Amino acid sequence: MKAFKSALLGVALLVAASAVQAQEQFIPVLSYRVGPYAAGGSGYYGGAIDYWTLINMSGGINGVKLTWEECETEYNASKGVECYERLKKKNGGATSVEPLSTGIAYGLFDRVATDKIPLTTFGYGLASSADAHHPPHFDRCKLYTIEGAVQRVDWGNPHVKLSIEVEDGTTYDLVWRSIQQLSLAGVQKEAVRVGDRVVATGSKQSDDGAHVSILLSEIHKAGDGLQWSQPPQGC
């Protein structure tokens, strides 16, 4: 609870810090109270709005009140991008955005950079938030399917990652979801092991490099029936 409250206060302070003479600052709320992750989303966003309401009842932050508008994403990346585009210019423009979704965060990465709107990701999201390198840009408009043998499994946050080698000897780094997201989907650490043959579909890294990365939208293997999928990232 303390960490949760600190995170919400951090968003509020970030919003207030951007206010020069404004008496209100707007936050788009890309919530998911329905859909596969509604149990987590409804609690988080309900708590966030209650806390911001409490801040406003106490006079705001240095006199700056917070305003917001909620848009339902159902934890879907395409709907998250649509909600962001719909709300980003309302009420003088968004001051910050927190999607609480890795898929939506990837969909917003280039957009918030262009719009100069801070994107916060608490304990998930882009790899650059954790290890200070620039994440690869994925071509979300095209999906690629590859098949190969698993060479390495990195079971950790912010993303579980796999390396597989295909028939021609090329190695691909597969960027999956966080441990928590996979656990909620019923995928455990033992689901994929070194030596397993898998078929993976996802968005390929746009720029060429020593390592080719794919942001997974689907993966399965023969034998034990492992199947996982999530709607692909929007263009």
Q: What pLDDT digit, counting tens, does each position of 178-195 carry?
A: 887 788 788 888 889 999
State whether 92 and 155 are in the same domain: no
More confident residue, 131 or 56: 56
CATH number at residue 45: 3.40.50.2300
Q: Which of 77, 97, 122 delimits the end of a domain?
A: 122
State whether 88 and 39 are in the same domain: yes
CATH number at residue 183: 2.40.50.140
Task: Write down the pLDDT at residue 133.
Answer: 40
Task: Write down the pLDDT at residue 132.
Answer: 41
- CA dihedral (72, 77, 82, 88) in degrees, to 10, reads 80
State whether 37 and 147 are in the same domain: no
In whole angstroms, what is the distance from residue 97 CA to residue 223 CA? 42
pTM value surpassing 0.75 = no
Determine, yes or no, domain membership for 8.
yes
Grade residue 51 by pLDDT with cuts at 50, 70 and 90.
very high
* Structural domain span for residue 67: 2-122
Q: Which of 62, 96, 122 delimits the end of a domain?
A: 122
Give the residue-averaged pLDDT of 57-86: 94
How far from 21 is each of 17, 64, 90, 113, CA to CA, in Å? 11, 9, 18, 24
pLDDT in tens, 140-179: 678 889 999 999 999 987 789 999 999 988 899 998 888 8
Task: Write down the pLDDT at residue 180.
Answer: 78
Task: Write down the pLDDT at residue 134.
Answer: 40
In whole angstroms, what is the distance from residue 232 CA to residue 235 CA? 9
